[in-house]
């Protein structure tokens, strides 16, 4: 029976443990052998105890746990071929030739590279005398399936990534708390949220909390944003608003790609609008804690689909990534999704913001 390993890699997100639980249990329910690889690619390179056979009860209760209980890491060794050769050897040792990886675009890129290299890695294991031809023969084709775990919701081709709605919920709660003080003292708060190149968290938090102004990387403000923001905030105050909330994505910038920092915004609100202004950087609170119901559901349905995709896979099918589009769990071409994601980031760098925004919603053929 097939041996299917699951791993989490890159930045953690709420729902990763729920995804691992779903993959382990669907693997067992399909009559296959389940493995978990601890600490991301580092565990694959280190082998030994880091690759553990999993039973049904090993993942009990994991659906509601924050972060990832099998650990995650950034692994330099896996970036180089010798590291991946060691990883391949550790997998062959246990007869694992199917890998479900829950991570961001970096982790999934590494996975696809591993799959492309796999036949030549096996050849090298044989030619160097580490494994015999008979030993590697049953494992000629490596199966890779991606699950997207990220709070940023930064993968093109899927409506939501595992963790993004938990993070959004956390941000909204935090802003609700800040609102109390803002209202009481008639203050302004500049709130910095995570999201790197992707403004989804900032924008959705702005909508969900009724923010006065939002800065996100794909849609930078106009050239004269300073006076524009100040006049909008002034207008809201004139209409009787007692509080001001401005949300700044960590990757925010103007149309010339000059970084817009929370401190810059604070100084404007203080000096030009005359508001008592504070900065709150939410930081890792946004990544922590139990997953919300949506992320549990998404992680579970996608984890099940990932195992089905492994069992359907042939050497000819490209590696899939499991997405959700208009409420349906679907498989898409992993490398195509990553290409579009990178293209959106590159379009921001090229100051083609219209294309960057369009890329976020890009649909492409499966």
Euclidean distance between CA atoms 270 and 277, whole angstroms: 6
Q: Which of 152, 154, 212, 333 is catalytic?
A: 152
46 vs 105 by CB, closer to ligand ADP: 105
Euclidean distance between CA atoms 190 and 333, whole angstroms: 39
Residue entry with tokens 């930078």: 220
Residue 80 counted as an annotated binding residue: no
For residue 78, the minimal CB distance to ligand ADP (Å) is: 4
78 vs 213 by CB, closer to ligand ADP: 78
* E strand spans, 129-196: 143-148, 188-193
Nearest alpha-carbon partner for 304 in 55, 24, 66, 4 = 24
Nearest alpha-carbon partner for 265 in 338, 335, 202, 326 = 202
* Residue 167 in the binding site for ligand ADP (CB under 6 A): no
# binding residues, ligand ADP (CB under 6 A): 16
Euclidean distance between CA atoms 178 and 194, whole angstroms: 17
* Residue 103 in the binding site for ligand ADP (CB under 6 A): yes
Per CB under 6 A, which of residues 9..28 are in contact with ligand ADP?
Answer: 9-11
10 vs 14 by CB, closer to ligand ADP: 10
For residue 257, the minimal CB distance to ligand ADP (Å) is: 22
Per CB under 6 A, which of residues 40..99 are in contact with ligand ADP?
Answer: 41, 74-75, 78-79
The answer to whether residues 274 and 238 touch, using CB atoms and an 8 Å cutoff, is no
Assess whether 112 carries a catalytic annotation.
no
Residue 210 counted as an annotated binding residue: no
Token reading at 48? 């030994």
The answer to whether residues 357 and 218 touch, using CB atoms and an 8 Å cutoff, is yes
79 vs 354 by CB, closer to ligand ADP: 79
Which strands make up the sheet holding 188-193, listed edge to edge?
A: 213-215, 244-249, 188-193, 277-281
Residue 34 counted as an annotated binding residue: no
* Known binding-site positions: 11, 74-75, 104-107, 150-152, 187, 194-196, 250, 278, 284-287
Binding region for ligand ADP (CB under 6 A): 9-11, 41, 74-75, 78-79, 103-107, 109-110, 113
């Amino acid at each position: 029976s097939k041996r299917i390993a699951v791993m989490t890699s890159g930045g953690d997100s709420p729902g990763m443990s729920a995804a691992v639980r779903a993959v382990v249990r669907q693997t067992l329910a399909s009559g296959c052998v389940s493995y978990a690889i601890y600490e991301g690619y580092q565990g694959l390179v280190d082998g030994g105890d880091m690759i553990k056979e999993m039973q049904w009860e090993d993942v009990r209760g994991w659906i509601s746990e924050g972060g990832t209980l099998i650990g995650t890491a950034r692994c330099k060794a896996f970036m180089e071929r010798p590291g991946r050769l060691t990883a391949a050897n550790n997998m062959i040792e246990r007869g694992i030739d199917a890998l479900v990886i829950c991570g961001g675009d970096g982790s999934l890129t590494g996975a696809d590279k591993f799959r492309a290299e796999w036949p030549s890695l096996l050849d090298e294991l044989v030619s160097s005398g580490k494994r015999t031809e008979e030993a590697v023969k049953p494992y000629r084709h490596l199966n890779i399936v991606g699950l997207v775990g990220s709070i940023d919701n930064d993968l093109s081709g899927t409506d939501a990534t595992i963790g993004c709605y938990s993070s959004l919920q956390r941000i909204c709660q935090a802003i609700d708390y800040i609102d109390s003080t803002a209202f009481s003292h008639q203050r302004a708060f500049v709130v910095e949220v995570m999201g790197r190149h992707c403004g989804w968290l900032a924008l959705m938090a702005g909508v969900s909390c009724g923010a006065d102004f939002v800065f996100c990387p794909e849609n930078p403000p106009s050239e004269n944003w300073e006076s524009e923001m100040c006049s909008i905030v002034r207008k809201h105050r004139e209409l009787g608003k007692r509080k001001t909330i401005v949300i700044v994505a960590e990757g925010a910038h103007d149309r010339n790609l000059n970084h817009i920092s929370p401190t810059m915004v604070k100084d404007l609100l203080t000096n030009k609008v005359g508001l008592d202004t504070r900065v709150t950087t939410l930081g890792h609170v946004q990544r922590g804690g139990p997953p919300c119901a949506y992320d549990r559901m998404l992680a579970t349905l996608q984890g099940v689909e990932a195992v089905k995709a492994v069992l359907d896979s042939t050497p000819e099918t490209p590696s899939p990534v499991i997405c959700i589009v208009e409420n349906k769990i679907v498989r898409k071409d992993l490398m195509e999704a990553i290409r579009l994601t990178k293209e959106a980031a590159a379009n921001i760098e090229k100051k083609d913001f219209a294309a960057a925004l369009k890329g976020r919603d890009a649909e492409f053929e499966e």
